[in-house]
Amino acid sequence: MKSIRNIAIIAHVDHGKTTLVDKMLLAGQLFGDHENPGELIMDSNDQERERGITILAKNVSIIYKDTKINIIDTPGHADFGGEVERVLNMADGVLLLVDAFEGPMPQTRFVMEKALRLGLNPLVVVNKVDKPNCTPEEVHEMVFDLMYSLDATEEQLNFPTIYGSAKNGWMSTDWRKPTENILPLLDAILEHVPAPKIAEGNTQLLVTSIEFSKYIGRMAIGKLSRGTLKANQPLTLINREGKETKSRARNLYVYEGFGRVEVEEVQPGDICAIFGIEGFEIGDTVAHNENPEALPTIAIDEPTLSMTFTINDSPFFGREGKFVTSRHIKDRLTAELERNLALRVEPTESADTFRVFGRGVMHLSVLIETMRREGYEMQIGQPQVILKEIDGVKMEPVEELTLDLPEEVSGTAINMVTQRKGVMLSMTPKADRVVLEFEIPSRGIIGLRSNMLTATAGEAIMTHRFKEFQPHKGEIPGRLNGSLISMELGKAIPYSINNLQDRGRFFIDAGEEIYEGQVIGENNRAADLVINVTKTKKLTNMRSSGADDKARLVPPRKFSLEEALEYIQADEYVEATPQSIRLRKILLREAERKRGEKILF
C-alpha cells in the first residue's frame, strides 16, 4: 500500500493558485522530456483561461518520494462556493496560498472558515515574494490574525509557512533565500499534512462530486474513508433521507496525473470515481452491502438568483447558431443539471421559456457563455433575486461586500452602496488605499460593478459573498437613464449616428446591422427614445458651407455578457448568439410597447 496525502489548495482569485499547481505537476515529473504542457495546465476550460479564474474543482495526483499526493484545485470565486465546500470533504489538509503584497482577501476567509470547521490543518504558502513593495512577514501576521478571528485551534494556529514565487518556480522556508525548485513545498506537504485517518469498519464513501461523461454517464467521486472497494462489489446507496438502495460498482477509477486509471481495488484514504451506481446525488453515502452505515451528509448552497431563458425570436435568429429551438435549450439545460449542482431549472407557462436559478450573475453567465460557444442561440431576461417567506416575513438574500479602493474615491463608493441599501460595517486604511466592508442585499449588487469601476476610474477591487436571508429592505433605485431604441431594420449609418450623438452613448458601430426594437444606446434622460440611425445623407447638386465636415464618432460602449445581464431593465432581453451579444426590448414594435403600457396603467 502506498502512502497517501490528500490536499486542497485554496486561495483568492489571482493569487497564483493554478500556476503553483502547474509547478507541482512539473516537479512530480508527470510529463515526458518531449512534452511541453504550457501554462495554466489545470484551467483546461477555455473560459477559465480567458477569465483567469478557476471555475471547476479538479483532481490530479503526483508521486513524490513514493507518496501519492492528491491535489484538489478549488475555485476562488464565491459564486462557485458550492464546489469548494464539497471538495474540502475529500482533503486531509489545506494549502492556503496568499499574495505577499495583498495578504488574505475576503473570499479566502470564506473558504478558510469552512476548512477550519472541518478540522483541517493549514500549510501556508506566501506567494509572489518577488513583487516590489511586498511584505511577507506582515502577511504572515495577517494570516495568523485571520485564523485567530476564525476561532482556529492551538494546533491550527501553529501552522508552518513556506515562501516563494510559483511563477519563477521556487519555494523556501526563508523568503530572503531563494532556492532552485519547489521541492521544499512538497517536503512540507509530506511532513505536515497527515495521512488519511482510516476508521475501523466496512465500506464507507461520501459522494462529494459528480463527473459526467457523454460515453458512459455519471460517476460518483469521493474519498474512501474506510473499508475496501473492489470492482463488481455489491454496495448500498444511502440517500439524504436515509433510504437504502442496493447497487453494484461496475468500474473503479483512481486519479493518476491528469487522467483516471481503472483499478480492481481502491485502498482506503484514496480519492476514487465509481461507475455503475444509479440515482445518486451529492451528499449520499456509498456503503457496504451488509450492515450499511451512512456518513453525515453535506449541505449545498441555495441559489440566490434566477433568470429567464427563452428562444431567440429576433429578426436575426438562426443566422449564427446551430441550436435555436426550445427543445435544444431544454435538453442542454437538463444535461447541465447532471454536473452543475447549484443550478435549478423550472418550466414556465410558456413552452419556449425556462426559469434558471443559480448562485450569482457570474455562475449563470459562465453557463450562457458555454452554451454560446457550443452554437446555441437564446435570449435571457433581467436577473431576479429569489425572495423567501419565513414565518410570514418576506426575506431576501444579503451579501457581505468588500471594496478595496483609493482613499480619495471612498466617499463616492460609500454613497453608491448606501443608495442601494448597503450598511457599512468597517473601514480599514491600507497605505494610500482603504478597505470598506458592507452588508448589502443581493439586489443591490446587480449592476453595481460597472458603475463602481466608472466612478473609481477602474481602481476599485470588489468582492462579495452570500451571508444569509434577512427581512426585505425595500425598493432599490434601478438604472436612471432610458434606452435609445432603433426604429428601423437596416445598417447603422455614420451620418445618422453623428447627428444623434448628443442624445446619449451608443452601443453599436457604424455599419453594424440592427433591427427595430434593438437597444442601440443609453439615453441622456430617464425616458426611452426611439431613433432612426439608418437614414442616409440627402444628396443634392448644391454645395453648402460645412457640408464636407467629417463625422467624428465617439467609440461605442461594448458590453461583456455579465455587464449586459446587469445592465438590462425588466422589459429588456440580452440576445446571446455564438458571435453577438445584443440588447433588445421584449416587445420589438413601438406600438406594442405603448399598448402594453396602457394595459399596465
In contact, 403 and 438? CB cutoff 8 Å = yes
Q: Is 15 marked as a binding-site residue? A: yes
Q: Which three cell numbers stand for residue 352?
A: 419556449
The reply, when asked if residue 128 is annotated as ligand binding, is yes
502 is in an annotated binding site: no
Q: Which residue has the cell 431594420?
A: 489
Report whether 404 belongs to an annotated binding site. Answer: no
CA distance 55 to 84: 10
- CA–CA dist 529, 32 (Å, integer): 63
Contact 303, 79 (CB under 8 A): no
Tell me if 127 is assigned to a ligand binding site. yes
Those residues whose C-beta lies under 8 Å from the C-beta of residue 396, and which sit 6 or more positions away, are: 385, 387, 388, 441, 442, 443, 469, 470, 471, 472, 473
Place of cell 446507496: 237
Distance CA 21, CA 13 (A): 14
**Residue 232 annotated as binding site:** no
For residue 442 the three cell numbers come to: 443581493
Q: Is 114 within any annotated ligand binding site?
A: no
* Three-state SS at 156: helix
β 3-11/67-73 pair status: parallel
Q: 17 a known binding residue?
A: yes
Q: Using an 8 Å Cβ cutoff, are 283 and 209 in contact? A: no
Confirm or deny that 18 is annotated as ligand binding.
yes
Tell me: is residue 385 an annotated ligand-binding position: no
The CB-side HSE value for 403 (13 A sphere, CA atoms) comes to 33
Q: Angle, nearest 10°, between helix axes 183-192 and 17-27?
A: 90
Residue 518, helix vs strand vs coil: strand
**Binding-site annotation: residue ranges for GTP:** 14-19, 127-130
Annotated binding site: 14-19, 127-130
